């Protein structure tokens, strides 16, 4: 039997001999949103558990939007197009916005790869910075966690008076679930921090597991770091 697997922007064909094929477990189909862009805008106008963006953005002068890098399956261009249109509608100028790519320890996203991530229009009209975890001079120290982890984060993010995190939420083998605080830790963290939250004490903890948040040391540490930022 021949299967097609997603591989980057392409497909890979894999042939499995019938004698070696035990079963095929298919995921349940999910009904797509009829208008994804409209759904993003509606979420910004009526978010869960907080005031709408229009209220929170008042009198803000410097906006930093953190996005996932190309290793994450996030519809970043779609999200940014809707989000940036809303910000412009609230009077936020393009030069007041910095888009920060949360690379963690990954390589930077540049050129055609960056255009594919955010779209040509956004790439050409907005200030976009790739976080570099190796450049201490681009990060600031803002204290330590209760467990002693030094909190050293990207200076562009810390300098903004309004911060927006984008991404996806899915089960994570160590953090319980991805999304939210992981855009900051490890997304825009200095490399020395990785020795702590990717160290044995956290990696070997039984609480660091898929779908587990309560008692998960990675989740607790990264959430504390995000709150400090």
Please report the pLDDT score of residue 196 as a whole number: 86
Query: Residue 60 falls within a domain, yes or no?
Result: yes
Query: Residue 18 falls within a domain, yes or no?
Result: no
Average pLDDT over residues 106-112: 96
Please report the pLDDT score of residue 56 as a whole number: 94
Residue range 183-224, pLDDT digits in tens: 999 999 999 998 888 888 888 999 999 999 999 999 999 999
Provide the domain count of the chain.
1
CA–CA separation, 157 and 180 (whole Å): 15
Please report the pLDDT score of residue 68 as a whole number: 97
CA–CA separation, 85 and 112 (whole Å): 23
Q: How confident is the model at residue 8 (pLDDT cuts 50, 70, 90)?
A: confident
Most distant CA atoms of the chain, gap in Å: 66
Quick check: is 106 catalytic?
Answer: yes
Query: Residue 193 falls within a domain, yes or no?
Result: yes
Query: Residue 1 falls within a domain, yes or no?
Result: no
Query: Residue 106 falls within a domain, yes or no?
Result: yes
**Are the CB atoms for 86 and 41 separated by under 8 Å?**
yes
Residue 191, domain extent:
56-228
- Determine which one of 106, 131, 198, 219 is catalytic: 106
Query: Residue 183 falls within a domain, yes or no?
Result: yes
Query: Residue 33 falls within a domain, yes or no?
Result: no
pTM above the 0.85 mark? yes
Residue range 138-157, pLDDT digits in tens: 999 999 999 999 999 999 99
End-to-end, the C-alpha distance of the chain in Å comes to 51
Query: Residue 208 falls within a domain, yes or no?
Result: yes
Please report the pLDDT score of residue 201 as a whole number: 87
Q: What CATH number has the domain bearing residue 173?
A: 3.40.50.11440
Please report the pLDDT score of residue 166 as a whole number: 97
- Determine which one of 131, 172, 196, 219 is catalytic: 172
Quick check: is 219 catalytic?
Answer: no
């Amino acid at each position: 039997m021949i299967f097609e697997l997603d591989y980057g922007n392409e497909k890979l064909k894999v042939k499995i001999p019938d004698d070696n094929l035990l079963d095929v477990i298919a995921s349940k189909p999910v009904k797509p949103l009829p208008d994804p862009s409209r759904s993003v805008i509606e979420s910004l106008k009526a978010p869960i558990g907080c005031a709408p963006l229009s209220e929170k953005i008042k009198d803000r002068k410097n906006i930093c939007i953190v996005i996932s890098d190309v290793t994450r399956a996030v519809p970043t261009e779609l999200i940014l197009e809707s989000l940036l249109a809303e910000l412009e509608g609230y009077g936020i100028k393009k030069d007041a916005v910095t888009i920060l790519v949360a690379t963690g320890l990954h390589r930077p996203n540049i050129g055609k790869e960056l255009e594919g991530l955010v779209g040509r229009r956004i790439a050409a009209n907005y200030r976009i910075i790739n976080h570099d975890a190796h450049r201490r001079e681009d990060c600031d120290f803002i204290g330590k966690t209760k467990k002693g982890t030094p909190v050293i984060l990207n200076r562009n993010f810390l300098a903004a008076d309004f911060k927006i995190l984008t991404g996806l939420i899915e089960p994570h083998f160590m953090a319980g679930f991805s999304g939210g605080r992981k855009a900051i830790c490890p997304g825009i963290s200095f490399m020395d921090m990785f020795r702590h939250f990717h160290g044995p004490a956290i990696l070997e903890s039984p609480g660091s597991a898929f779908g587990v948040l309560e008692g998960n040391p990675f989740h607790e540490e990264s959430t504390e770091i995000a709150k400090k930022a």
